[in-house]
């Protein structure tokens, strides 16, 4: 069974500082990995995804994540935090779905606060 662990339910950074949100996954088959962002009172928006190929993936709003198979990790980073980055971030995993796509399994989320 797949699972996702997000380390830290709340992360606080200063504006302009590095953002690092941690995600570790468990999967018995090669995974698809995702980061979604949720702004207050809104739905989920895809930030970036890893499916295959290059292990460093770039997403929207300057975020990127690196797939490290040996560490079963997919940490999300951004070099310089902006006030508008304050939101909740969810890491998710699914099977590659050779016979069809499978449901996403989500982590519990990390709330990012950005301090001026």
Under rule CB under 8 A, which residues in 18-57 are in contact with another protein?
Answer: 32, 34, 36, 42-46, 49, 51
> Can you tell me the distance from the alpha carbon of 29 to that of 78, in angstroms, rounded to the nearest whole number?
28
Our CB check for another protein shows the closer of 80 and 101 to be 101
Our CB check for another protein shows the closer of 5 and 72 to be 5
The reply to whether 5 sits near another protein by the rule CB under 8 A is no
β-bridge partners, 87 = 112
Question: Minimal distance in Å, beta carbon 24 to another protein?
Answer: 14
> Can you tell me the distance from the alpha carbon of 13 to that of 110, in angstroms, rounded to the nearest whole number?
13
1: nearest Cα among 28, 22, 20, 33: 28
Give the SS3 label for residue 60: helix
Residues at the interface with another protein (CB under 8 A): 9, 32, 34, 36, 42-46, 49, 51, 90, 94, 97, 100-109
């Amino acid at each position: 069974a797949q699972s996702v662990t997000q380390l830290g339910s709340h992360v606080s950074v200063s504006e302009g500082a590095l953002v690092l949100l941690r995600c570790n996954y468990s999967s018995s088959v090669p995974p698809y990995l995702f980061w979604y962002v949720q702004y207050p009172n809104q739905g989920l928006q895809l930030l970036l995804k890893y499916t295959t190929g290059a292990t460093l993936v770039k997403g929207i709003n300057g975020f990127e994540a690196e797939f490290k198979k040996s560490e079963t990790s997919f940490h999300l980073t951004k070099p310089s935090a902006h006030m508008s980055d304050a939101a909740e971030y969810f890491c998710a995993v699914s099977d590659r779905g050779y016979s069809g796509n499978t449901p996403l399994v989500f982590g519990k989320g990390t709330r990012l606060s950005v301090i001026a």
